[in-house]
A and B are shown apart, each in its own frame.
Chain A
């Protein structure tokens, strides 16, 4: 253990008393921490088919790290499925989750329990259990035990949520630092908006948000134009869509009629 990190831990220990959640602290590592994301802006055009965001940075030696890429938070209305009359699978109730991130892609250098105690991870919002307690607490409705588990399955099936244990690579860097790197795969279904990539550091059960960088996902070109028209001028968009459909339909009809005439 370096003298720098030992002193960091001492400072952290002092700070702990003043913090609401034990183990969430400033580790005093500000000066040597860095993070770079590439690309920092994602343009969604007609050829967009998902993108891999490369995250690189430096953290103090001896730390574990977690890199979280998460999207804007919103409420999500869901329906539960269950058996009706003992054999028919149908909707059996509704539940609304509040403060749900649109995307949650987490990579860690070690298994979650090795990073910090659950209450520290919960405070930092690192890991599915942390996300669960936040989402369930904010819901105004009764949430069944299996609801969040099934919700995770749903999000994972769309590649919008994922957890990669060992997804953060740690390598020795200059002056006793560590180089961190991870890849954050954003699927084609990535909603547009402001994202944030966060780098967390963990040592001896204490965790800290070391860096956060914004990540912009925005439509460009035809994607942006069509989307704007659909959202802001719905009636005009609908009429245009019908006119073009009618035109293509009738022209094809005409073309086929001519072709069959020639064939006769």
Chain B
């Protein structure tokens, strides 16, 4: 029996269990690490026959459900820093708008694809490698891993962070820092996410851990809270401007992902910070390797539809 379902906006029929399974896996990662999972799901959807623009837009739609489900679970456990989330979100919106302008500029100059891809690979490689070795070192050092890794090495960044004005205490994260820091970092991540065409969860999570010194469990919940708003905005924009949201596709994916997100949030509570970080690092590095292979291996066809990134 054929369990395929025809997706009206994607214009293709895909096996329903395959979609439920993909949604489940990505939802699990979302609940576990606080990432939207778009950087993983969008290429997988393209691989199974969904047009790239529809894959990205419908993915945002299903992330709304997964992040709502994940945020709810984390909020109940008291691991969402709403204050920090709102400041990061404001920065993200400003940075996102700037990023859209930047990408236009890059396209005008040509070489945009090259700059984007190289930035993506270097970014993923840098973040992934740093997280991996830092967490590995902490795990090997036993309980030392539970200590905030940054206390021992005051850097230029740390001195700058201490001297910025408007210091505020973020109770949920138990950190006191200038409100300018999450705002500026939000702008930076928002701009990078817009340039690279991703939600930015996998950049935001390391930023919260290493630059804002937030505890890993609060990072996951707060990141999901922020992603909820970002993806709501993207879904409505994509539906209005590009008409590329396939609701049926999103609905099937989200049935899988909301369940996966709950399971991910539960597992997240059972793992310690360094175990979570090292798993996240492995996934980030795997995506980087996949992108790198895409750059190094000859493509199947030397021509592709435009707008298919």
The residues of A with any CB-CB pair to B shorter than 8 Å are 44-50, 76-82, 84, 87-91, 94-95, 146-147, 150-151, 153-154, 157, 188-189, 191-192, 219, 222-224, 226-227, 230-231, 234-235, 237-242, 244-246, 248-250, 252-254, 256-257, 260
The answer on a CB contact under 8 Å between A252 and B8 is no
The answer on a CB contact under 8 Å between A153 and B301 is yes
Q: CB-CB < 8 A to B142: which residues of A? A: none
Find A245's partner among B254, B297, B304 (CB 8 Å cutoff): B254
Bound-state Cα–Cα, A239 to B68, Å: 15
Q: CB-CB < 8 A to B104: which residues of A? A: none
The answer on a CB contact under 8 Å between B300 and A241 is no
Q: CB-CB < 8 A to A260: which residues of B? A: 266
Contact A234-B13, Cβ < 8 Å, known A49-B2, A242-B232: no
Q: CB-CB < 8 A to B76: which residues of A? A: 253, 257
The answer on a CB contact under 8 Å between A87 and B247 is no
The residues of B with any CB-CB pair to A shorter than 8 Å are 2, 4-6, 8-9, 11-13, 49, 61-62, 64-73, 76, 113-114, 117, 232, 235-241, 243, 245-248, 250-251, 254-255, 258-259, 261-262, 266, 294-308
Minimum C-beta distance from B26 to chain A (A): 14
The answer on a CB contact under 8 Å between B296 and A89 is yes
- Of A147, A249, A257, A260, the most chain B CB neighbours within 10 A belong to A249
The answer on a CB contact under 8 Å between B254 and A257 is no
Q: CB-CB < 8 A to A95: which residues of B? A: 303
Minimum C-beta distance from B43 to chain A (A): 16
Bound-state Cα–Cα, A226 to B6, Å: 12
Q: CB-CB < 8 A to B239: which residues of A? A: 230, 234-235, 237-238, 241
Find A48's partner among B13, B248, B302 (CB 8 Å cutoff): B13
The answer on a CB contact under 8 Å between A241 and B245 is yes
The answer on a CB contact under 8 Å between A188 and B297 is no
The answer on a CB contact under 8 Å between B303 and A154 is yes
Nearest B residue to A45 via CB reads B6
Contact A150-B302, Cβ < 8 Å, known A191-B11, A234-B243: yes
